[in-house]
Amino acid sequence: MSFLDRLAAIQQQKQSRLCVGLDPDPARFPSFLLGDHSLAASAMRFNAAIIEATAPLACAFKLNLAFYENFGREGPRVIDETLDRIPSDTLAIADGKRADIGNSARFYAAATFKRHDFDACTISPYMGRDAAESFLGYEDKAVFVLTRTTNASAGALQQLEATDPEDGDDGVPRP
Position with higher pLDDT, 37 vs 42: 42
With respect to residue 126, please indicate whether it lies within any of the assigned structural domains: yes
Alpha-carbon torsion (164, 170, 172, 175), positive or negative: negative
Asked whether residue 168 is assigned to any structural domain, the reply reads no
Q: How confident is the model at residue 172 (pLDDT cuts 50, 70, 90)?
A: low
Helix (H) / strand (E) element for 35: namely: none
Candidates 156, 155, 101, 146; CA nearest to 123 is 146
Q: Which domain holds residue 74?
A: 3-148
In a domain, 170, yes or no: no
- What total of structural domains would you count in the chain? 1
Do the domain assignments include residue 92?
yes
Confirm if 132 and 145 have CB atoms less than 8 A apart: yes
Q: What is the pLDDT confidence band of residue 170, given thresholds at 50, 70 and 90?
A: low
Residue-wise pLDDT tens digits, 109-155: 999 999 999 999 999 988 888 889 999 999 899 999 998 888 888 88
Confidence band of 165 (pLDDT split at 50, 70, 90) = low
Average pLDDT for residues 80-99, to the nearest whole number? 97
**Other beta carbons within 10 Å of 150:** 5
Residues 123, 140: Cα–Cα separation, whole Å: 17
Would you state the pLDDT for residue 163?
64
Domain contains 129: yes
Number of Cβ atoms within 10 Å of the Cβ of 73: 7
Highest mean pLDDT among 30-39, 85-94, 123-132: 85-94
- Report the CATH number at residue 143: 3.20.20.70
- Give, rounded to a whole angstrom, the gap between the first and last alpha carbons of the chain: 49
Neighbours of 137 (CB within 10 A): 11
Mean pLDDT across the stretch 39-55?
A: 95
Confidence of residue 90 (pLDDT cuts 50, 70, 90): very high
Residues identified as active-site? 97
Contact 121, 112 (CB under 8 A): yes
Cα gap 69→74, rounded to integer Å: 8
Assigned domain for 162 exists: no
The DSSP bridge partners found for residue 60 are: 19, 91
